[in-house]
Structure 1
Amino acid sequence: MKPFMIKVPASSANIGPGFDSVGIALERYLTLTVTPGEDWEFKHRSPLLPEVPNHEEHFIFKIASKIAAKHGKELSSASISVDTEIPLARGMGSSASAIIAGIELANRLAELDLTAEQKLRHAVQIEGHPDNVAPALFGGFITAVQFEQELDYLILPELDVDLIVYIPDFELKTEDARRVLPDAYPRAVATRASAISSMMIAAFMKGDYNLAGRMMERDLFHETYRARLIPRYDEIKPEARELGAYATVISGAGPTTISFAPSGKGEEIARRMQSLLPDYEIAALRIDTEGLQVSDLD
């Protein structure tokens, strides 16, 4: 086995009304450097990652082993250095990036020769829905839907926007964020929420970012319920809009929030918002358009 590297972007899901079906890839990355080894070893190179003393308990190893077993194969042992810029349990797709990394690790170590669609199907079976794993795999701005055994996705035209993420210093587990959502919605609410989501996608495809921004902030599916779990969220939205952002929404299940802004204004908005939120990590980002990257090392 030749040494190789796996690089997977972070992601932000929902984008307001695109609940469980819309996501974007972000220019922050999980990176695995894989070299031959007689025994399994995971070495963490980031303070964002907890120590895992036993490789069999490592999340990425579990994913890789599961995928290899599904194809009747076994993994060859390896020494893996793991680095990440993606904080855990912050709504930036840390689990989705790890799932994609684990699938690709199995693909290489067990010589599975998986297609992109097979990788996506494996990822959705593990994650439960495609909104984070599809952008992590393909990059860009993606809408996807699973209906029974059918899985469809569409990569939208590249967006000319800057992104600003506001990352608080606490975790919010996805299961806790889902617990505050209603079990069902009245038909009138569901109809309006669906229309808002459709209008948002149409506006993005036409490049009407002002209209898309208005739709992003009118979500009825989840933001109303989750906003109370995020301190100062009601302050971030109007302040970012005052500084020129099109809209601000919860990133995934939170607690990170994310603003969409005109191209070239991200750094300025991030800098000015940092003075308002000194206890947050605030960063201007772009949308990753590459998705999963795998490269051989010399």
Structure 2
Amino acid sequence: MKILVPATSANLGPGFDCLGLSLKLFNEVEIKKASLTSVSINGEGSDNVYLKKNNLFLSIFHGIYEKLNGKRDNFQFIFHNNIPLSRGLGSSSAIIVSAISAAYLMCDMKLDKQNILNEALKYENHPDNIAPAVFGGFVCSLVKDKEVLSIKKEIDINLRAIVVIPNITMSTEKNRQILPKFLSLSDSVFNLSHASFLTACFLEKKYDLLKFASEDKLHQLNRMKNLPELFEVQKCALKNKALMSTLSGSGSSFFSLVYKEDAQFLFEKMKEAFPHFKIKLLEFDNNGLEIC
């Protein structure tokens, strides 16, 4: 069995903990029963011995599998990781979603995507990454009575993403500690209005308004100060035909959205301006979790 889960970019500026979208950059895990449990990691994290012994996927998988099956069986796990670790592209969400799916499927118990999402909420208590990881597309979500309510919009095939990936990791947990404890009424209204307007821009395909809709007064400024060069990344993107440019999750990656015909131009500009960062030109994913 193979499970594919896409990378995601969350928040999208003002949509803190509720907005996210899915990118065509996938983690894949192959699983089969074996006489002894073994773990093989290819790609991101392959040089990290710690991951084989303290693997989040295995912890979630075995916990759910034993609960459902009443025993612990041996499996061969082969991970093909393309999503950078701790860079704000949903690597932990991809692990959580794939582990839950794998456990149920290896017990011959099928879960629909909504149930997978609700289960994932137990391990990541905000839905901005896990919802697009499951459903794909652009997703707006909220949590009600420990369940996720989501609205998905497929992303236009005439749009592309440019993702700038610094070689510096950022901890979501630590980055939450630098957020303001209180917001003024004016800043709260600012973010509410911009998150609502940004959602409407995606639903109505008013992409030329995203530059204004994606402004934020809650988290981006403080988080970007951890890597000041990100201010230059954003400035360069918006100067060179990006429709919007926002911190991806809590960072350190930066996400920019661009029309398909302008994507190569922006890609080359970003490569030229930031040669020490990894730059990816990606399509958007509208399928989310896939099981092969």
On whether the aligned pair clears a TM of 0.5, the verdict is: yes
Aligned-partner Cα distance in 2 for 1:74–1:11:
33
**Unaligned residue ranges in structure 2 (runs of 5+):** none
- What is the Cα-based RMSD across aligned positions, in Å? 1.7
Deviation at 1:207, TM superposition (A): 0.8
1:206-237 per-residue CA deviation (whole Å, 9 max, x = no partner) reads 11111122111x21121121120123112122
Partner of 2:73: 76
**AA of the residue aligned to 2:198:** M
Is 1:272–2:269 an aligned residue pair? yes
Compare 153-162 and 201-210 and name the one that shifted more.
153-162
Secondary structure of 1:132's partner?
helix
Is 1:21–2:26 an aligned residue pair? no
**AA of the residue aligned to 1:137:** V
Deviation at 1:109, TM superposition (A): 1.5
Alignment of 1:81-92 (within 5 A): 81-92=78-89
Match of 2:146 among 146, 149, 174: 149
Deviation at 1:259, TM superposition (A): 0.6
Deviation at 1:55, TM superposition (A): 5.8
Is the 2:15–2:191 Cα contact (8 Å) retained in structure 1? Answer: no
Deviation at 1:85, TM superposition (A): 0.9
Aligned-partner Cα distance in 1 for 2:209–2:31:
45
Q: What is the TM-score with the length of structure 1 in the denominator?
A: 0.92
Secondary structure of 2:268's partner?
helix
C-alpha change, 1:200 and 1:53, in structure 2 (3 Å) is closer
Is the 2:154–2:286 Cα contact (8 Å) retained in structure 1? Answer: no
Match of 1:203 among 176, 201, 204: 201
**AA of the residue aligned to 1:166:** V
Match of 1:134 among 128, 131, 134: 131
Aligned-partner Cα distance in 2 for 1:222–1:82:
33
Is 1:290–2:287 an aligned residue pair? yes
C-alpha change, 1:253 and 1:121, in structure 2 (3 Å) is same
Match of 1:257 among 254, 272, 280: 254
C-alpha change, 1:121 and 1:86, in structure 2 (3 Å) is same
**AA of the residue aligned to 2:204:** K
Moved over 4 A (4+): 52-56
Compare 183-192 and 194-203 and name the one that shifted more.
183-192
Deviation at 1:182, TM superposition (A): 1.1
C-alpha change, 1:44 and 1:117, in structure 2 (3 Å) is same
**AA of the residue aligned to 1:179:** Q
Partner of 2:2: 5
Deviation at 1:5, TM superposition (A): 0.8
Alignment of 1:39-78 (within 5 A): 39-52=36-49, 57-71=54-68, 73-78=70-75
Deviation at 1:62, TM superposition (A): 0.5
**AA of the residue aligned to 1:48:** G
C-alpha change, 1:72 and 1:109, in structure 2 (3 Å) is closer
Partner of 2:175: 177
Is 1:222–2:219 an aligned residue pair? yes
Secondary structure of 1:162's partner?
strand
How many percent of aligned residue pairs carry the same amino acid? 26
Secondary structure of 2:261's partner?
coil
1:257-284 per-residue CA deviation (whole Å, 9 max, x = no partner) reads 0111112322221112111101100011
Aligned-partner Cα distance in 2 for 1:138–1:182:
31
Secondary structure of 2:43's partner?
coil
